[in-house]
Structure 1
Amino acid sequence: MTDDSAADDPDALAERVREGELRLHELDDRTDAETAAAARRRLLEAETDADLDAVGDYALDAEQAADANVENMVGAAQIPMGVVGPVQVAGGAADGEYYLPLATTEGALVASVNRGCSTIATAGGADARVTKSGMTRAPVFRVSGVAEAEEVVSWVGENAERLREAAESTTSHGELLDVDTYVVGDSVYLRFVYDTKDAMGMNMATIATREAAEVVEDETPASLVALSGNLCSDKKPAAINAVEGRGRSVTADVEIPRETVEDRLHTTPEAIEEANTRKNLVGSAKAGSLGFNAHAANVVAAAFLATGQDAAQVVEGANAITTVEARDDALYASVSLASLEVGTVGGGTKLQTQSEALDVLGLRGGGDPAGSNADALAEIIAVGALAGELSLLAALASRHLSSAHEDLGR
């Protein structure tokens, strides 16, 4: 920051940007983050005739956000936040009654998920388990041909410990679990898999993989082309994540007595099973979908926004399969999310409203043991997704979907 007398005047700073003396990003070097954001708003208001009073009315710490979460900050986008629950979750890490905050602009979503949570609660709660955990980064290397590719693959297989030492030298928390090899012509892909504990871990995995990739280049004929070769695969629909998992693979299930299904969901186990089979399984297969579910991404997205997760990774979070079975006197339902990428430390989890949402869950920060808070968050989100699946399937089976939206004025 300079001692310029205009450094605390947003209008003067905006004028300097307009005149070409400063660039938008240079405002952070001339004044504090709050004033820099105000100057950008002044500039945008003058250039576009927009009124940014609401954008500039925020509760988060501008210095923290500008330092860690966003560039060229102008303010904040506000999203309504609701809550569903309480619902009993018996998980490997989550154990108790939880309220799940959901941030969304989709009317009727929270009400629908809450109906599912109420039904699950009446049935005694849901079970949930993280069955696999591992954040991935997959660099792509160039070789001259398949002979060199085989040499690289062999070296990687024989030197797992060297790669582990290199990768883990960059982090005090992450652990390299595995390196999977793939060859396509003169390209070699190495899919590094990490235990990132309570962090979502994408940055951790990237930095660690960069260190390991240098060892591969030094010791083999391979030349690094890109630190991410899209076989990770991050923020893109990918079958590998549906099969191998990424982040947390988590499943939640529940058995609901027939009487509860009829009283709470106003339909029958058989009708919900048929709707799930014809819609989520057959319909999704015909569409070539990677997700065989009704709307799991709705809950994942709303929970991500509320708790400070990377919203773009809803792509992977939608990689879910819902199963339903009508049993003699009950309805069995499950949802399995193959690649739910969540954390309770780092990134957006440090922002004030997101931290408060994690406090509602009792999961802010690192867990004891390490990784348990992120596991618990994954399990609770999975139960929320299960609640959403049950409610929507029941609405479809009873033909109440459109009337529910009409009743709520959506």
Structure 2
Amino acid sequence: MSQPTPADLATRVRDGDLRFHELEDHADADAAAAARRLLVAEATDADLDPLGEYAFDADAVHGSNIENTLGGVQVPVGVAGPVTIDGGAGSGERYLPLATTEGALVASINRGCSVIEGAGGATARVTKSGMTRAPVFRVAGVAEAEALVDWVRDHEPALAEAAESTTSHGELLDVTPYVVGNNVFCRFRYDTKDAMGMNMATIATREACDVIEAETDASLVALSGNLCSDKKPAAINAVEGRGRSVVADATVPREVVEDRLHTTPEAIAEINTRKNLVGSAKAGALGFNAHVANAVAAMFLATGQDEAQVVEGANAITTAETTADGDLYVSVSLASLEVGTVGGGTKLPTQQASLEILGVAGGGDPAGSNADALAESIAVCALAGELSLLAALGSRHLSSAHEELGR
């Protein structure tokens, strides 16, 4: 039987014979996407031909990464570096792939990498790891809440057994209960190895919740009670961490600061204090940094991470101070960087290429090491970006750089 053409499929949708989301049931995903482009272009008078240029396997992404596929969007990818990273998950020179449409961003981060390289490289470490999911339960009152908290603490091994029955990789690390009136939130935290792990944590937690409901008087209201907290700015992530908490730092000699950044360690330290710390505090910000979101977002897009989790990933604190020898010490601490090297968008071909640039594609040996190394690379990228922007402010070159590079 011959394959229906995109025009045939579009006609059947117009005639009411097929529904818009059913096209892949009657043709391959490329033909279905082409049919949707015809229909949407007809309805909106838009030129959708550019969306038809993509490198991924449309059948592979349908139902896994996307629904109602039209095609693909291309974002320019640049590279910064190389920069030497002394990491807990691996050390050596790395190029940093960045997907962005913001002129001057790659140039700025590349300048920061060059300065860090001139200082002997950066150090980075993952200090805490664990993906969270926090369901909310309804109880009769505070006495029943206390009983549930005690039960959860006494039966954590049983909850771990239930949760881990759903995955061959995930491991329940701990469960922390929180009580608000007749609401009890249980924040489950998992080691998800090289996966970002949000789906893994959700499925595992659902199984554990069944045990709680069967063995206690509590009733599950929602599998996510927002104390996780996913894709929202939240102080709990800044304090307790989520995904990976990672820190990067470097000490830049005074002469390198003066010769390459055209400012001084004292100026950079003062700007950081007055801008990133005092200014952010006055604004009521959760992140105390200059533009960590830029580095996180660009590397997330390049490597196939969940772009909405830039909200948590940019929850970072930048510090800068002059050392006793008159050099510049600078650091970035990212509290909740949620990344993986397997699953989700990481399996798409262009994103795989970026992960291969970093040497972290697929699962690591030991498990979790590739995701750790990716987190360390993103932290150093953010460090380079912070250093470069603070120096541009110190030398008063920020506006001229954006003018020169088209922004």
TM-score, length of structure 2 as denominator length = 0.99
Tell me the equivalent position of 2:327: 330
Runs of 4 or more consecutive aligned structure 1 residues displaced over 6 Å after TM superposition: none
Q: How many residues align?
A: 406
2:52 to 50, 56, 60: 56
Q: Is 1:136 aligned with 2:132?
A: yes
Tell me the equivalent position of 1:245: 241
Tell me the equivalent position of 1:348: 345
Query: 1:2-401, aligned counterparts within 5 Å?
Result: 3=1, 7-327=3-323, 328-401=325-398
Q: How far is the alpha carbon of 1:61 from its aligned partner?
A: 1.0
TM-superposition CA deviations, 1:218-242 (whole Å, max 9, x none): 0011000000000000000000000
TM-score, length of structure 1 as denominator length = 0.98
Identify which range, 148-157 or 60-69, moves more after superposition: 60-69
Q: Which amino acid aligns with 2:264?
A: T
Distance 2:231 2:17 in 1: 37
Distance 1:70 1:191 in 2: 29
Q: Report the secondary structure of 2:62's partner residue.
A: helix
TM-superposition CA deviations, 1:90-116 (whole Å, max 9, x none): 010031000010000100000000000
Whether the aligned pair in 2 keeps the contact of 1:94 and 1:377 (CA below 8 Å) is no
Q: Which amino acid aligns with 1:38?
A: A
Q: How far is the alpha carbon of 1:263 from its aligned partner?
A: 1.1
TM-superposition CA deviations, 1:336-389 (whole Å, max 9, x none): 000000000000000000001101111000000000000000001000000000
Q: Which amino acid aligns with 2:6?
A: P
Distance 1:67 1:181 in 2: 35
Q: Which amino acid aligns with 1:340?
A: L
Q: How far is the alpha carbon of 1:399 from its aligned partner?
A: 0.8
Q: Report the secondary structure of 1:54's partner residue.
A: helix
Q: Report the secondary structure of 1:382's partner residue.
A: helix
Whether the aligned pair in 2 keeps the contact of 1:173 and 1:196 (CA below 8 Å) is yes
Distance 1:9 1:57 in 2: 18
Q: Which amino acid aligns with 1:142?
A: R
Q: Report the secondary structure of 2:35's partner residue.
A: helix
TM-superposition CA deviations, 1:147-191 (whole Å, max 9, x none): 111111110010010000000000000000000000101111000
Whether the aligned pair in 2 keeps the contact of 1:139 and 1:189 (CA below 8 Å) is yes
Q: How far is the alpha carbon of 1:397 from its aligned partner?
A: 1.0
Distance 2:190 2:55 in 1: 35
TM-superposition CA deviations, 1:281-321 (whole Å, max 9, x none): 00000000000000000000000000000000000011000
Unpaired runs of 5+ in structure 1? none
TM-superposition CA deviations, 1:43-90 (whole Å, max 9, x none): 111111111111101111111111310000010011000000100000
Unpaired runs of 5+ in structure 2? none
Distance 2:78 2:4 in 1: 37
Q: Is 1:407 aligned with 2:404?
A: yes
Distance 2:159 2:264 in 1: 54
Q: How far is the alpha carbon of 1:326 from its aligned partner?
A: 1.2
Whether the aligned pair in 2 keeps the contact of 1:94 and 1:380 (CA below 8 Å) is no
Q: Report the secondary structure of 2:330's partner residue.
A: strand
| CA RMSD across the alignment | 0.8
